[in-house]
Structure 1
Amino acid sequence: MALKHLPPTFCWSRIGPEAGVDLPTLILRKEWERRQGGGRFLWGIGQSLGSSAQVAALRTGSLLALFSAAASRPRAAQDKRGKRAGVVVWNAWVDASGQVRQLPQHVFVTSSATLPSGAAREHHYALVCVSPTELSVGSSLRVFPERLRSVSTAKPPGRSQGTVVVDCVERAAEPAGKSHSLVFTAELEAPYFVRLTQPTLVKARDLAAIHEAARMGDFDTYANLTKRVRSEACAQQPRGVTRDLFDVPPADHTASSRLGGARTRHVSRAGDWTQLTMELLHGDSLPFTRGRGCATLF
């Protein structure tokens, strides 16, 4: 989704390497998930958005998620004994009525097994993203935090807020101060974000194999590994019995012409899934290419 300018209200998320996966490979994994999910994919975030996403969507009619590269690399999480924390995969989500529902097996959202405090992480969150077209990475647009105000607090987003719903503040002066490059954009679909539950620790050897398959652009191996890990975990968990969000196909989405979006195209699952070309904007445009079958940044 290409934008000519920032929308007046949007969900802003600062993203970076996660659970040992570099950002370009993580975006590739989400493109694969998008194709398997008919256009829908989940992006894990560390905190709840409260009611801000619903409020903004009701006010504007739709809500876009803009993802920017984080300014610094996250610290490696540690457990209470000071050892590097493990990685968990999340197997279910909780709806508004408290019903626990299983995530589709192609969805693979991971996080550190512990919180920064060292306590076990019992819940996580995820943005419900949808894109009818391939994730288009790279943009000339930049986000200036000083020109943003949180929908919830009317204050500029804090450093600890990795994801926040914001309004743009118009100013006559030229933008100044720190800015963040825009990596990619997607639309958020109701309920906009979900709370995840039922985490399962991923074995180190399985995690290493999954990372290697994604790094090499080997979709078939990656899909088989992630589905096996998810199916083993789900076999031990209770399942929801009512209609699920993921039983409903994503709604048709059209980008607003005032935001400079392209017209909607039907989502296609055909084609070679490993031949994706992406760009990660970090100062200059950096091509995301594949050398010897590997995803590399030059």
Structure 2
Amino acid sequence: MITSNYSFNSNTPIQPEAERIPEVFCWTKMGTEAGQPIEKILLRKELERGAGNGVFSWGIGNSLGNTVELALKQYKKIDVLFSPMKSPAKNKDVSPNQLLLWLDYFDNEHGQVNLPSHMLITSRGDQGKIDGKRSHYALFCKSNDDITRQSSLEPIDAKKARNFASSNPLGASQVTALVRYDNFRADAVEQPYSVKFRADLSGAGFIRLASPITITGELKLLYAELCDVSTVEQWIAGIKLLRQRAEEMRVRNAKQMKIFEIISPSRGPVEQPP
């Protein structure tokens, strides 16, 4: 008769087996951005998700071209997997000289349109450019689950990931990419990346942003207050006020630019028609 010293404790929770990484997904690495640590970004994105019935935005710095559009024609659902960055944040992300609030995006059917009213997308600016303007992009995502909770997916091995369109290995500078993943590749040696949370691409999935407004003065105060709210109701009220003030600033900036173009010394006064 075989005996064992092991005794089963019915109160011990059974750990679920980690889920396998999907064969095609959008992978983005996240960290400190626009002066905010990732922990704080996740808290406000969870409020944004709650205000949008599961839909939220995620700003990214690199373009995905038309790969998302092509993939959405082939697959009914595409996951977005979010992994913490391994490298420490750069000084320009921790303490940016300028912050931008993005108001619009480019839609294939309707041109430049407003972002959904519950969304907040910011980025650091480049003071060497007019209005700090630089290219910035975003993912439209949807999740029915709290995104601050840890995912049950197994870790991602970067050696198993290839660019969706070209099948080339991922470049070191690719923070966000649409990838194909080979779960059965046995020679992978890359240190794996944990998956903090997952979502689905929603709507267009990937967008190019437009109409950045520099966050200064009253906008800076409203932005700070919004980032400290703790309920969905507070988020909805706070983002409404912030966006309203930003739109007012956009109108003022447009009027000032028009006046500047009329009286610009480099061009001389512009004669108005009688």
TM-score, normalised relative to structure 2: 0.74
| Residue aligning to 1:166 | 179
1:61 aligns with 2:76: yes
Note if contact 2:83-2:195 (Cα within 8 Å) is conserved in structure 1. yes
Note if contact 1:10-1:66 (Cα within 8 Å) is conserved in structure 2. yes
The alignment of Structure 1 onto Structure 2 pairs a total of residues equal to 231
Higher strand share: 1
Q: Percent of pairs identical after alignment?
A: 28
Higher helix share: 2
* Structure 2 counterpart SS, 1:167: strand
One-letter amino acid matched to 2:72: A
| Residue aligning to 1:85 | 97
For 1:211-222, list aligned pairs within 5 A: 211=224, 214-215=227-228, 217=230
The whole-number CA distance in structure 1 between the counterparts of 2:237 and 2:214 is: 18
Q: Which of 176, 179, 184 pairs up with 2:189?
A: 176
TM-score, normalised relative to structure 1: 0.69
1:125 aligns with 2:140: no
One-letter amino acid matched to 1:192: G
Note if contact 1:213-1:219 (Cα within 8 Å) is conserved in structure 2. no
Considering only aligned residues, what root-mean-square deviation do their CA atoms show, in Å? 2.8
The whole-number CA distance in structure 2 between the counterparts of 1:113 and 1:133 is: 32
The whole-number CA distance in structure 2 between the counterparts of 1:60 and 1:104 is: 25
* Structure 2 counterpart SS, 1:180: coil
| Residue aligning to 1:293 | none
One-letter amino acid matched to 1:138: Q
* Structure 1 counterpart SS, 2:58: strand
One-letter amino acid matched to 1:199: P
Q: CA deviation at 1:175?
A: 4.0
One-letter amino acid matched to 2:197: F
Q: CA deviation at 1:132?
A: 2.5
Give the structure with higher Rg (CA). 2
Note if contact 2:55-2:142 (Cα within 8 Å) is conserved in structure 1. yes
| Residue aligning to 1:153 | 166
Q: CA deviation at 1:114?
A: 1.8
Note if contact 2:24-2:178 (Cα within 8 Å) is conserved in structure 1. yes
1:5 aligns with 2:17: no
Taking structure 1 as reference, are residues 221 and 35 closer, same or farther at Cα in structure 2, changes over 3 Å only?
closer
Deviation string 1:176-218 (CA, Å, 9 cap, x unpaired) is 2222110110000231111111000112675466446535736
Deviation string 1:3-50 (CA, Å, 9 cap, x unpaired) is 711000000000111111111211111111111112211100112211
Deviation string 1:68-127 (CA, Å, 9 cap, x unpaired) is 00112332339xxxx942101100111114611112332110000128xx5433431110
* Structure 2 counterpart SS, 1:66: strand
Q: Which of 10, 30, 38 pairs up with 1:23?
A: 38
Note if contact 2:96-2:125 (Cα within 8 Å) is conserved in structure 1. no
The whole-number CA distance in structure 2 between the counterparts of 1:61 and 1:233 is: 36
Taking structure 1 as reference, are residues 131 and 221 closer, same or farther at Cα in structure 2, changes over 3 Å only?
closer
The whole-number CA distance in structure 1 between the counterparts of 2:157 and 2:213 is: 37
Taking structure 1 as reference, are residues 220 and 60 closer, same or farther at Cα in structure 2, changes over 3 Å only?
closer
One-letter amino acid matched to 2:106: V
One-letter amino acid matched to 1:17: T
The whole-number CA distance in structure 2 between the counterparts of 1:202 and 1:71 is: 29
The whole-number CA distance in structure 2 between the counterparts of 1:40 and 1:66 is: 15
Taking structure 1 as reference, are residues 104 and 236 closer, same or farther at Cα in structure 2, changes over 3 Å only?
farther
* Structure 2 counterpart SS, 1:142: coil
Note if contact 1:12-1:67 (Cα within 8 Å) is conserved in structure 2. yes
The whole-number CA distance in structure 2 between the counterparts of 1:105 and 1:143 is: 34
The whole-number CA distance in structure 2 between the counterparts of 1:24 and 1:138 is: 12
Could you tell me which runs of 5 or more consecutive residues in structure 2 were left unpaired when the two chains were aligned.
Answer: 1-16, 252-274
The whole-number CA distance in structure 1 between the counterparts of 2:47 and 2:30 is: 18
Deviation string 1:213-242 (CA, Å, 9 cap, x unpaired) is 53573665555443322111223558xxxx
The whole-number CA distance in structure 1 between the counterparts of 2:23 and 2:60 is: 22
